[in-house]
């Protein structure tokens, strides 16, 4: 293939191959026992490179940099995967509460997530703070799956938005207490936690 037919990115990516010293070293690497790493910008022993196998051609990036590249790529996809899982789990709840839509954009949701949420998205759920309003970033909270099941089961029995909010408040106020110990009513007087939880508009 002629030079003018090659993609523009290739000459930029492998400009080091035009260096006559590097090119000569590559051709004789079976004698010298070293290969040029384009990321390290130096020659390294051959055992620091992955050996060619099958369709994998000779690589000019050492194993350390290959693993680093894979790690960065994986970290870039994990938040997207976490968002997709949380969103897909929120859809049945949307129908359960009788909502027609959700307003949970990915950038805003990802801003809410901790490293634990991203690493184990299947263990958590996005739930509305107020069930009488569609799920949105202001009207959402991250709960564990057991907490979600408790709220959903209570909602199915009562269909009472105020009772749902009281149940949610008790879950957050006493996370280690069994739900059976919760009083029927919420706080007698609006507490700081209650105001912070539900006065989001």
Convert the pLDDT of each residue in 6-42 to its tens digit: 444 444 446 656 677 766 666 777 778 888 888 888 8
Classify burial at 16, counting beta carbons within 10 Å of its beta carbon; exposed 0-12, middle 13-18, buried 19 or more. middle
pLDDT score of 72: 67
Residue ranges of the domains in the chain? Answer: 3-61, 92-198
Report the alpha-carbon distance of residue 169 to residue 141 in Å, rounded.
Answer: 11
Quick: pLDDT tens for 157-186: 999 998 898 888 888 877 666 555 555 555
pLDDT score of 38: 84
Of 82 and 1, which is predicted with more confidence? 82
| Spatial contact of 170 and 184, defined as CB atoms under 8 Å apart | no
Quick: pLDDT tens for 97-123: 999 999 999 899 999 999 899 889 999
**CA pseudo-torsion sign 148, 150, 155, 161:** negative
Residue 34 token pair: 């070293």
Residue 190 clears pLDDT 70, i.e. is over it: no
Quick: pLDDT tens for 52-64: 776 667 788 898 8
pLDDT score of 71: 72
Quick: pLDDT tens for 118-148: 889 999 999 999 999 999 999 999 999 999 9
Confidence of residue 68 (pLDDT cuts 50, 70, 90): confident
pLDDT score of 4: 46
With a CB cutoff of 8 Å and minimum separation 6, the contacts of 182 are 167, 170, 174
pLDDT score of 5: 46
């Amino acid at each position: 293939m002629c030079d003018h037919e090659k993609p523009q990115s290739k000459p930029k990516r492998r400009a080091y191959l035009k260096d006559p010293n590097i090119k000569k070293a590559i051709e004789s690497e079976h004698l010298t026992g070293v290969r040029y790493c384009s990321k390290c910008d130096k020659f390294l022993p051959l055992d620091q490179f992955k050996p060619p196998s099958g369709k994998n051609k000779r690589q000019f990036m050492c194993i350390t940099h290959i693993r680093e590249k894979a790690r960065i790529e994986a970290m870039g996809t994990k938040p997207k995967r976490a968002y997709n899982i949380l969103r897909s789990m929120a859809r049945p709840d949307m129908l359960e509460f009788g909502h027609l839509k959700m307003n949970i954009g990915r950038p805003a949701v990802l801003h809410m997530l901790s490293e634990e949420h991203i690493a184990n998205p299947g263990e958590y759920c996005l739930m509305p703070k107020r069930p009488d309003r569609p799920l949105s970033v202001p009207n959402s909270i991250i709960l564990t799956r057991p907490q979600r099941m408790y709220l959903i089961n209570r909602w199915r029995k009562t269909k009472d938005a105020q009772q749902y909010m009281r149940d949610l408040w008790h879950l957050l106020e006493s996370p280690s207490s069994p739900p059976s110990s919760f009083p029927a009513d919420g706080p007698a007087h609006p507490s700081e936690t209650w105001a912070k939880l539900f006065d989001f508009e």
